[in-house]
Amino acid sequence: MATIKKIGITDEYITLGQFLKLADLIASGGEAKAFLMENEVIVNKEKDQRRGRKLYAGDIIETTGKVYEICR
| Closest by Cα among 28, 18, 11, 10 to 61 | 18
Q: What is the pLDDT, as a whole number, of residue 22?
A: 95
The rounded distance, in Å, linking the Cα atoms of 6 and 60 is 9
Q: In the chain, what are the domains?
A: 4-71 (3.10.290.10)
Structure pTM? 0.92
> Which pLDDT belongs to residue 29?
87
pLDDT digit string (tens) for 4-46? 999 999 999 999 999 999 999 999 989 999 999 999 999 999 9
CB atoms within 10 A of CB 29: 13
CA atoms of 65 and 18, how far apart (whole Å):
19
- Residue 52 above 90 pLDDT? yes
* pLDDT over threshold 70, residue 1: no
Is 90 exceeded by the pLDDT of residue 2? no
Checking DSSP bridges between strand 46-47 and strand 66-71, what pairing results, if any? unpaired
Residues in the chain: 72
